[in-house]
A and B are shown apart, each in its own frame.
Chain A
Amino acid sequence: MAIQKNMDPKKCPMPVQDPQIRRTNFNEVALGYTYEMAVNEAKRCLNCKNKPCRTACPVQIDIPAFIERVANEDMEGAYRIISQSSSLPAVCGRVCPQETQCESKCVRGIKGEPVGIGRLERFVADYHREHCTEKPEMPVPNGHKVAVIGAGPSGLTAAGDLAKLGYKVTVYEALHLAGGVLVYGIPEFRLPKIIVQKEIDNLKAIGVDIETNMVIGKVLTIDELFEMGNEAVYIGSGAGLPRFMNIPGESLKGVYSANEYLTRINLMKAYKEGSKTPIKHSKKVAVVGGGNVAMDAARSAKRMGAEEVYIVYRRGMQELPARKEEVEHAEEEGIIFKTLTNPVEVLGDENGNVCGMKCVEMELGEPDESGRRRPVVKEGSEFVLDVDTMIMSIGTSPNPLIRSTTPGLETNKHGCIVTDGDDGLTTREGVYAGGDAVTGAATVILAMGAGKAAAKAIDKYIKEKN
Chain B
Amino acid sequence: MYKIVRKKELNPTVTLMEIEAPLIAAKAEPGQFIIFRAKEDSERVPLTIADFDRDNGTVTIIFQIVGGATMELNTLNEGDCLHDFVGPLGRPSETDGLKKVAVVGGGVGCAIAYPIAKKLHGLGCEVHSITGFRNKDLVILEDEFKEVSSVLKMMTDDGSYGEKGLVTNALEELIKSGNEYDEVIAIGPVIMMKFVSNLTKKYNIKTIVSMNPIMIDGTGMCGGCRLTVGGETKFACVDGPDFDGHLVDFDEAMRRGAMYKDFETNAREASCNLLKQEVKG
- B37 interface residue (CB < 8 Å to A): yes
Do A176 and B37 form a contact, CB below 8 Å, given A219-B87, A251-B228, A260-B216?
yes
In the complex, the answer to whether B24 meets A278 with C-beta atoms within 8 Å is no
A209 to B248, CA, bound (A): 42
Encoded as 1 (CB less than 8 Å from any B CB) or 0, chain A from 207 to 230 comes to: 000001111001110000000000
**B200-246 with Cβ < 8 A to chain A:** 216-217, 219-224, 226-228, 233, 235, 238
Do A218 and B216 form a contact, CB below 8 Å, given A251-B228, A259-B221, A276-B41?
no
Q: What's the least CB distance linking A422 to chain B, in Å?
A: 27
In the complex, the answer to whether A401 meets B219 with C-beta atoms within 8 Å is yes
**B19-75 with Cβ < 8 A to chain A:** 23-24, 27, 37, 41-44, 68-69
Question: Closest residue to B228 on the A side, CB-wise?
Answer: A251
What number of residue pairs across chains A and B have CB atoms under 8 A from each other? 110
- A195 interface residue (CB < 8 Å to B): no
Do A241 and B256 form a contact, CB below 8 Å, given A174-B86, A174-B219, A220-B23?
no
In the complex, the answer to whether B68 meets A175 with C-beta atoms within 8 Å is no
A250 to B232, CA, bound (A): 11
Stretch in B110-118, B178-186, B257-265 with 4+ CB within 8 Å of A = B257-265
A to B CB contacts below 8 Å, 23 in the list: A174-B86, A184-B217, A212-B84, A214-B23, A218-B88, A219-B87, A240-B221, A241-B220, A251-B249, A256-B224, A259-B223, A260-B216, A263-B217, A263-B222, A264-B216, A276-B42, A276-B69, A276-B267, A278-B267, A280-B259, A400-B220, A400-B238, A401-B220
B264: chain A residues within 8 A (beta carbon): 278
In the complex, the answer to whether A218 meets B87 with C-beta atoms within 8 Å is yes
In the complex, the answer to whether B88 meets A268 with C-beta atoms within 8 Å is no
**A165-187 with Cβ < 8 A to chain B:** 174-176, 184
- B85 interface residue (CB < 8 Å to A): yes
In the complex, the answer to whether B24 meets A219 with C-beta atoms within 8 Å is yes
Taking a contact as CB atoms closer than 8 A, the residue among A241, A251, A351, A399 that contacts B252 in the complex is A251
Do A241 and B41 form a contact, CB below 8 Å, given A174-B86, A213-B85, A218-B88?
no
**A222-268 with Cβ < 8 A to chain B:** 238-242, 244, 246, 250-253, 256-257, 259-260, 263-264, 267-268
In the complex, the answer to whether A213 meets B84 with C-beta atoms within 8 Å is yes
- A269 interface residue (CB < 8 Å to B): yes
| Residues of A in contact with B (beta carbons under 8 Å apart) | 174-176, 184, 212-215, 218-220, 238-242, 244, 246, 250-253, 256-257, 259-260, 263-264, 267-269, 275-278, 280, 351-352, 399-401
In the complex, the answer to whether A176 meets B87 with C-beta atoms within 8 Å is no
In the complex, the answer to whether B222 meets A260 with C-beta atoms within 8 Å is yes
In the complex, the answer to whether B256 meets A251 with C-beta atoms within 8 Å is yes
In the complex, the answer to whether A269 meets B219 with C-beta atoms within 8 Å is no
* Tier of interface size on chain B: 35 or more
In the complex, the answer to whether B23 meets A399 with C-beta atoms within 8 Å is no
In the complex, the answer to whether A268 meets B216 with C-beta atoms within 8 Å is yes
B24: chain A residues within 8 A (beta carbon): 219
In the complex, the answer to whether A176 meets B84 with C-beta atoms within 8 Å is yes
Max chain A C-beta neighbours (<10 A), residue from B68, B84, B238: B238
B68: chain A residues within 8 A (beta carbon): 276
Question: Closest residue to B251 on the A side, CB-wise?
Answer: A352
A220: chain B residues within 8 A (beta carbon): 23
In the complex, the answer to whether A241 meets B87 with C-beta atoms within 8 Å is no
Q: What's the least CB distance linking B209 to chain A, in Å?
A: 17
Question: Closest residue to B84 on the A side, CB-wise?
Answer: A176
- B6 interface residue (CB < 8 Å to A): no
Q: What's the least CB distance linking A179 to chain B, in Å?
A: 13
Do A277 and B43 form a contact, CB below 8 Å, given A175-B217, A176-B86, A219-B23?
yes
Question: Closest residue to B26 on the A side, CB-wise?
Answer: A219
In the complex, the answer to whether B43 meets A260 with C-beta atoms within 8 Å is no
Q: What's the least CB distance linking A288 to chain B, in Å?
A: 13
A280: chain B residues within 8 A (beta carbon): 259
In the complex, the answer to whether B220 meets A263 with C-beta atoms within 8 Å is no
Taking a contact as CB atoms closer than 8 A, the residue among A215, A264, A399, A400 that contacts B89 in the complex is A215
- B280 interface residue (CB < 8 Å to A): no
In the complex, the answer to whether B43 meets A276 with C-beta atoms within 8 Å is yes
In the complex, the answer to whether B224 meets A257 with C-beta atoms within 8 Å is yes
A278: chain B residues within 8 A (beta carbon): 259-260, 263-264, 267
**B248-281 with Cβ < 8 A to chain A:** 249, 252, 255-256, 258-260, 263-264, 267
- B8 interface residue (CB < 8 Å to A): no
A78 to B42, CA, bound (A): 41
Max chain A C-beta neighbours (<10 A), residue from B88, B217, B220, B259: B220
Do A241 and B217 form a contact, CB below 8 Å, given A212-B84, A215-B89, A251-B256?
no
Taking a contact as CB atoms closer than 8 A, the residue among A219, A275, A352 that contacts B88 in the complex is A219
Q: What's the least CB distance linking B89 to chain A, in Å?
A: 6
A259 to B222, CA, bound (A): 5
A351 to B263, CA, bound (A): 17
- B146 interface residue (CB < 8 Å to A): no
